[in-house]
Amino acid sequence: MADWNPALYTRFEDERTRPAAELLARVPLAAPLLACDLGCGPGNSTALIAARYPGAEVIGLDASPAMLASARARLPGLAFALADAATWIPERAPDLIYANAVLQWLPDHARLLPRLFGLLAPGGVLAVQMPDNLAEPTHRLMRDVAADGPWAAAIGDPAVAGRLGRMLEPAAYYDLLAPHAAEVDVWRTAYHHRMADAAAIVDWVSATGLRPFLDPLDAGERAGFLSAYTAEIEAAYPPRSDGRRLLAFPRVFIVARAR
């Protein structure tokens, strides 16, 4: 995929940061020495970690140079580095590995989650939050529109572009980590974000889930796809009593503490 667009991503920063804060609030660590924000994006989650743990060494890690540049501009006093969450190995064992809204992009969670958990220092914590919205209208309609239009050949298999099959059930994440952990906390929350209109919903997903569908398209195909998709979103998310739309957004949270 093309590099991320930090400006587009942060257009809904308050809504994106809320689950990050709620994940961090459940981390059972008093004073970690080293905290790694894996998939730090533009640094909004890294700022939360640094504020909660002012005595810790906090490192932000991301595979996007554009996101890292944005994070460094926001938090010039912190360290940031280029890293792929699928293969990253820290120089020393962290007390906290915090992965907010990143692991859903990666395959093979049955291997990935235990691998990351195994990198922790004794008593350390792996804290993960992942969008679990592939069955929601926003993402189902991405796949439907991708399969039916002049852009279909350029996009390819909508299931691949839409990352179907990557997420596990919440209980499966518990089963992966519980045999090796002192404690595991798993929960699922559905947020209902107030959005101005259908175009705002399209803007939201254009920064994240819609990217694999749009990146292969030329300008004309992209405009056609977005027009068709926006029409579907308009019908799927009708105005509420105040004229706004409600974007249902389920997320899975995992907090696992090492022995």
Per the model's pLDDT, the better-predicted residue between 14 and 95 turns out to be 95
Residue with tokens 């179907």: 164
Q: Is the pLDDT of residue 7 over 70?
A: no
Three-class SS of 113-157: HHHHHCCCCCCCEEEEEEECCCCCHHHHHHHHHHHCCCCHHHHCC
Q: How confident is the model at residue 4 (pLDDT cuts 50, 70, 90)?
A: low
Percent of the chain with pLDDT over 90: 93
Q: How confident is the model at residue 44, as a pLDDT?
A: 95
Would you list the domain boundaries of the chain?
Answer: 1-132+167-193+248-259, 133-164+197-243
Q: Has residue 155 got a pLDDT over 70?
A: yes
Mean pLDDT confidence for 84-96: 97
Query: For the domain 1-132+167-193+248-259, what is the CATH code?
Result: 3.40.50.150
Closest to 98 (Cα-Cα) out of 188, 205, 15, 25? 25
For residue 218, the model assigns a pLDDT of 96
User: Would you place residue 12 in the very low, low, confident or very high pLDDT band (cuts 50, 70, 90)?
Assistant: confident
Distance of alpha carbon 77 from alpha carbon 57, whole angstroms: 11
In this prediction the pTM is: 0.94
Neighbouring-strand partners of residue 62: 82
Look up residue 120 and give its two tokens.
Answer: 């922790």
133-164+197-243 maps to CATH 1.10.150.290: yes
Note the pLDDT of residue 5: 67
> Can 1-132+167-193+248-259 and 133-164+197-243 be said to share one CATH topology?
no
pLDDT at 178 over 60: yes
The confidence score (pLDDT) of residue 1 equals: 57
